Amino acid sequence: MALDIATVRRIARLARIRVPEEELPVMAEELSRIMDWIEQLNAVDTSNVAPMTSVADMRPHQREDAVTDGGVPEKVLANATDRVGNFFTVPKVVE
Amino acid sequence: MAYSIQGKTGAWEVVIGLEVHAQVVSKSKLFSGAATEFGAEPNTQVSLVDAAMPGMLPVINARCVEQAVRTGLGLNAKINLTSTFERKNYFYPDLPFGYQISQYLHPVVGEGVMTLDMPDGTTRDVGIERLHLEQDAGKSLHDQDPNRTFIDLNRAGVALMEIVSKPDLRSPEEAGAYVRKMRTILRYLDTCDGNMEQGSLRCDVNVSVRKAGEGLRTRCEIKNVNSVRFVMQAIEIEAERQVELYESGGSVIQETRLYDPDRGETRPMRSKEEAHDYRYFPDPDLLPLALDQAYVDRLRAALPELPDAKKARFRVLYGLSPADATQLTAERELAAYFETVAEGRDAKIAANWTLQELTAMLNKRGLTITESPVSAQQLGALIGLISDNTISGRIAKDVFEEMVETGGDPVKIVDAKGLRQITDTGAIEAAVDKVIAENPAQAEQYRSGDQKVTGWFVGQIMKATGGKANPKMVNELLKKKLGG
């Protein structure tokens, strides 16, 4: 399956990845090859097979509802680039 | 008569679907052990899971699952024993993961039904499409600084139930009734506190219009409407906008809009201009949620009496009208209060006093039913005094005011102030005779056929007896004396 340049540009924007215009054709070719591979997988008829979600047949562990975490603003904010008090800040998001 | 918008080309029907986001009542978050309490210092209720630090793994909170299933049962909905969590991908500063863990193809709760109680006492069933569990985002504060937005992640990761209705609603009134009933059910179940001001219950409204008999036209979604009144206003304004657009030759484009109550308009949300492309996929960090039927049955058996059942019981047990029964069961606490007031007493008088005097007093003072200065036992005792003719309804209102002020016992107040009703015929007769004798002109007016003065006479006699004469006896004696 061939992805066109416009689709690749759109995917890049959705993923917030900056791709220079001249690199789009290369990217399109690489992504198209991945899509080809997926198409190959899709050729197998799995209509009677339930999706495998884990190699072990297990249920997710459920936690008890208790406060066991938090209270670590210094750790949470450790990588903040422009901290004000206990807030993260970002350039104004206007609505 | 059905609601419609009258345009130049005739009547337009309005089609409404609602998405309610209800914050789950739980101590800790959906996938982390950080606290959920409202109003804490910024970023103090954030675990490294919520902050999306690399290598952190989500682990689901059993209580949140239980609350979602209980809510599903309260909405008469199908519980899906297997459901999956997916990643809904989008970028926003208060969403540290770059995706929201949500449910998409396989939600925990499927189709259900909710019964609306309309203001005129009628009911109407509305379909529920689904209920799924998801994470709330953090909070963006835009007004703290001219150039920056502040981010607090305390809310990030708190469990939400997104409850989606079918597009079954046809008027702003029905949409209002839907939100009110949803809130009532959630509060009965204690699965969401229903506080719209603090944002623990939020609404997205989908609106489209059509001519009678048509299929569905393009809809717009109005995001984050935070009161019942605004939901109703936004629908009306958006429906009118769409009608004008169609009638001037335009067409509606599917988009996300905001309602601005100050300007009375809806407008497109700039941040959502890009077409919805959330690229959902199953979250590889989370196994499918698997529940047993026995677990669901156990939760069902432990549900409290829900609003519809309570309303039906109130109608039969207390002989109440649909409207009174709806109002009295709107809040679990009010219903319990009423049942105490009505115990062993005239239920109709108990209902009137609870819904009128008591509710008016609470509204005036900005109090909730649980903060009432008059206890249910005290109000019950007051109603007992009315029923056994110890005091009249008129005097009861004065006694009630005194109870509100002093928190006193009604019997003691009546005795201390000498308010017991005069039921002694001789005493009332004397008062009637005296008033008639002192007002020969009015008496003559009555005798010549003008019975309008009756009310005036009753007033004078009540005044002469300090309001304590039994009004029924006054009326009878007055008629006898004047007519005779």
Distances (CA, A) of A86 to B34, B97, B336: 17, 19, 43
Distance of residue A18 Cα from the nearest chain B Cα, in angstroms? 15
Q: What is the mean pLDDT of residues A9-37?
A: 93
Distance of residue B49 Cα from the nearest chain A Cα, in angstroms? 10
CB contact under 8 A, B145 and A84: yes
C-beta of residue B210 within 8 angstroms of C-beta of residue B91: no
**Domain-terminating residue out of B245, B273, B298:** B298
Question: What does the radius of gyration of chain B's CA atoms come to, in whole angstroms?
Answer: 30
CATH number at residue B473: 1.10.10.410
C-beta of residue B49 within 8 angstroms of C-beta of residue B274: no
- B294 and B331 co-located in one domain: no
Beta partners for residue B150, in sequence order: A89, B141
The complex's ipTM?
0.89
- B291 and B409 co-located in one domain: no
CA atoms within 13 A on the CB side of B199: 11
CB contact under 8 A, B62 and A94: no
* Token code pair at residue B348: 């109709």
Which of A17, A58, A83, A88 should be substituted to probe chain B, the one whose Cβ sees the most B Cβ atoms within 10 Å? A88
Model pLDDT, residue B371: 95
B35 chain-A contacts, CB cut-off 8 A: 67, 70
Residue B217's nearest CA partner among B172, B264, B250 is B250
Per DSSP, B20 falls in state: E
Helices marked H in B1-117 — which ranges? 62-74
- B279 and B330 co-located in one domain: no
C-beta of residue B396 within 8 angstroms of C-beta of residue B382: yes
Q: Give the whole-angstrom CA distance, residue B246 versus residue B249.
A: 5
- B334 and B409 co-located in one domain: yes
Model pLDDT, residue B467: 79
Number of domains in chain B: 3
Q: Give the whole-angstrom CA distance, residue B48 versus residue A75.
A: 8
Q: Does domain A5-42 have CATH number 1.10.20?
A: yes
* Token code pair at residue A62: 């459920």
Residue B227's nearest CA partner among B163, B183, B168, B171 is B183
- B361 and B281 co-located in one domain: no
The answer to whether residue A52 neighbours chain B at the CB level (below 8 Å) is: no
Q: Give the whole-angstrom CA distance, residue B256 versus residue B241.
A: 14
- B169 and B34 co-located in one domain: yes
Q: Give the whole-angstrom CA distance, residue B299 versus residue B295.
A: 6
Interface contacts A/B by beta carbons within 8 Å:
140
The answer to whether residue B152 neighbours chain A at the CB level (below 8 Å) is: yes
C-beta of residue B61 within 8 angstroms of C-beta of residue A69: no
Per DSSP, B156 falls in state: T
Question: Which one of B142, B145, B290 has the shortest CB-CB distance to A59?
Answer: B290
Distances (CA, A) of B390 to B348, B349, B430: 18, 15, 20
CB contact under 8 A, B48 and A72: yes
**CB neighbour list of residue B360: distance below 8 Å, 6 or more residues apart:** none
Spell out the domain ranges in chain A. Answer: 5-42
Q: Domain span at residue B41?
A: 5-298
Task: Identify the closest residue of chain A to B278 by CA–CA distance.
Answer: A14
Backbone angles phi, psi at B112, to 5 degrees: -150, -170
pLDDT tens series, chain B, 484 aa: 589 999 999 999 999 999 999 999 999 999 999 999 999 999 999 999 999 999 999 999 999 999 999 999 999 999 999 999 999 998 899 999 999 999 999 999 999 999 999 988 899 999 999 999 999 999 999 999 999 999 999 999 999 999 999 999 999 999 999 999 999 999 999 999 999 988 999 999 999 999 999 999 999 999 999 999 999 999 999 999 999 999 999 999 998 999 999 999 999 986 555 556 888 999 999 999 999 999 999 999 999 999 999 999 999 999 999 999 999 999 999 999 999 999 999 999 999 999 999 999 999 999 999 999 999 999 999 999 988 888 888 889 989 999 999 988 898 888 888 777 777 777 888 888 888 888 888 888 888 877 788 888 888 888 888 778 888 888 888 888 887 5
Three-class SS of residue B2? Answer: coil
Model pLDDT, residue B444: 83
Question: What does the radius of gyration of chain A's CA atoms come to, in whole angstroms?
Answer: 22
**Domain-terminating residue out of B363, B387, B416:** B416
